[in-house]
């Protein structure tokens, strides 16, 4: 039985022209559609660094799916190669960081040693230069003063070299650390993308393959798709509903309908009542349907004449007005 939570979605709208019979009554408006489910999981071609992606594998439409089952796999060859390359680059960057730490630590230690040596030489030169002229010859006195100036200059240079060594070390290590963080971020993005290349079921149900947006043919494993294409849908056989595309000229007749009934294509002799539950306020253009606008409509039914309805079943809906 089809309870009040079940709905009918009309995927395709075909309308009859308004015609008068010999008695002057209008023919009913006819709409065709398919049975769908409100609880659906869309399998969408993922975004990659390429403008297309291959559907490597799809779960069969004939096999039931359980939550957690693998239902679709997209070609991830390029991504896997990229991940391996990034992992190798990350190892190289980390080794280079350790190498730079060792090199710059040695450079700083050498600069510190040179500064300490120059400071000791400056102290010694200062002691010699402090001897009064009265106790030395004019030549020795002036030589000590010159040595003190030279030692002071060399000590100042050593201090500058130490500061430069420390700044150089910090800049080199920071740059290398940023390189590592960038590679880690790229690796994380690539791994996240790889995880999207395998799609798992988030509910129980059955797979229904989508249609190619250009040719209208069924999508299949092996087809090359563009990111964003709906490859397939996982539907539950509960909470059923159908969506309707109604031509803009037929909206008044649907809104003023006094009787709505539907018939499955496989059971045309078993009509059942349906109710209009929702009608879109904004029309849309449908590819290959012309330039007119079509409006989405939803219908519900209390019961279905088929014991085990299958998703995708076609039906005809009659819209009669007084």
DSSP result, 219-242: P-TT-EE-TT-EEEEEE-SSSEEE
Closest alpha carbon to 212 in 124, 288, 154: 288
Burial of 268 per CB tally in 10 Å (0-12, 13-18, 19+): exposed
Retrieve residue 190's tokens: 């690539």
Closest alpha carbon to 235 in 198, 209, 263: 209
CB 97 within 8 A of CB 177: yes
pTM higher than the cut 0.75: no
Instruction: Give the count of beta carbons closer than 10 Å to the beta carbon of residue 301.
Output: 24
Retrieve residue 24's tokens: 């002057």
C-alpha 115/C-alpha 122 separation (Å) is 10
C-alpha 128/C-alpha 131 separation (Å) is 6
Give the per-residue pLDDT at 9.
38
Packing angle between helix 138-196 and helix 77-129, nearest 10 degrees?
Answer: 170
C-alpha 293/C-alpha 280 separation (Å) is 12
Tokens 């230690």: give the residue: 109
Which three-class secondary structure string do you get for 251-268?
A: HHHHHCCCEEEEEECCEE
CB 13 within 8 A of CB 246: yes
Which three-class secondary structure string do you get for 71-111?
A: EEEECCHHHHHHHHHHHHHHHHHHHHHHHHHHHHHHHHHHH
The H or E element spanning position 277 is: strand 275-279
CATH class, 47-75+197-231 region: mainly beta
What is the 8-class DSSP label of residue 117?
Answer: H
Give the CA count within 13 Å in the CB-facing half-sphere of 237: 13
Instruction: Give the count of beta carbons closer than 10 Å to the beta carbon of residue 288.
Output: 5
Q: What are the domain boundaries of the chain?
A: 1-39+236-322, 47-75+197-231, 78-195
Q: By three-state DSSP, how is residue 118 classified?
A: helix
Closest alpha carbon to 94 in 213, 199, 187, 180: 180
Q: Cα dihedral angle (177, 180, 185, 190), rounded to 10 degrees?
A: 180
Give the per-residue pLDDT at 25.
58
Give the per-residue pLDDT at 244.
80
Q: Which CATH superfamily hosts domain 1-39+236-322?
A: Efflux pump adaptor protein, beta barrel domain (2.40.30.170)
Closest alpha carbon to 270 in 306, 313, 310: 306
CB 55 within 8 A of CB 222: yes
Mean pLDDT by 10 residues, the chain (322 residues): 39 39 65 81 85 88 87 85 92 95 94 94 91 88 92 94 94 95 93 87 87 84 89 83 85 89 90 89 82 89 82 85 74
C-alpha 219/C-alpha 155 separation (Å) is 78
């Amino acid at each position: 039985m089809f309870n009040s939570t079940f709905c009918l979605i009309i995927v395709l709208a075909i309308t009859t022209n308004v015609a008068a019979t010999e008695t002057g009554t209008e023919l009913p408006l006819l709409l065709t559609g398919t049975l769908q489910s409100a609880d659906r999981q869309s399998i969408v071609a993922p975004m990659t660094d390429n403008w297309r992606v291959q559907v490597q594998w799809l779960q069969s439409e004939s096999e039931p799916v359980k939550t957690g089952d693998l239902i679709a796999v997209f070609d991830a060859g390029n991504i896997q190669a990229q991940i391996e390359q990034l992992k190798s680059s990350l190892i190289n960057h980390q080794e280079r960081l350790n190498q730079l730490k060792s090199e710059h630590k040695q450079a700083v230690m050498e600069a510190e040693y040179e500064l300490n040596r120059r400071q000791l030489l400056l102290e010694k030169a200062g002691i010699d230069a402090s001897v009064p002229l009265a106790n030395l010859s004019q030549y020795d006195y002036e030589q000590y003063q010159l040595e003190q100036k030279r030692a002071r200059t060399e000590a100042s240079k050593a201090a500058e070299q130490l500061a430069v060594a420390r700044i150089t070390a910090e800049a080199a290590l920071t740059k290398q650390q940023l390189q590592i963080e960038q590679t880690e971020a790229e690796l994380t993005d690539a791994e996240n993308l790889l995880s999207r290349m395998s799609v798992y079921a988030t509910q129980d149900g059955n797979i229904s393959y989508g249609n190619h947006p250009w040719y209208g043919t069924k999508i299949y494993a092996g087809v090359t798709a563009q990111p964003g294409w709906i490859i397939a849908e996982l539907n539950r056989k509960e909470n059923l509903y159908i969506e309707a595309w109604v031509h803009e000229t037929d909206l008044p007749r649907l809104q003023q309908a006094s009787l709505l009934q539907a018939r499955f294509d496989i059971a045309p002799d078993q009509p059942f009542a349906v109710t209009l539950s929702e009608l879109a306020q904004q029309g849309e253009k449908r590819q290959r349907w012309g330039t007119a606008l079509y409006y989405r409509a939803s219908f519900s039914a209390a019961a279905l004449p088929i014991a085990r309805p299958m998703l995708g079943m076609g039906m005809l809906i009659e819209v009669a007005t007084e």
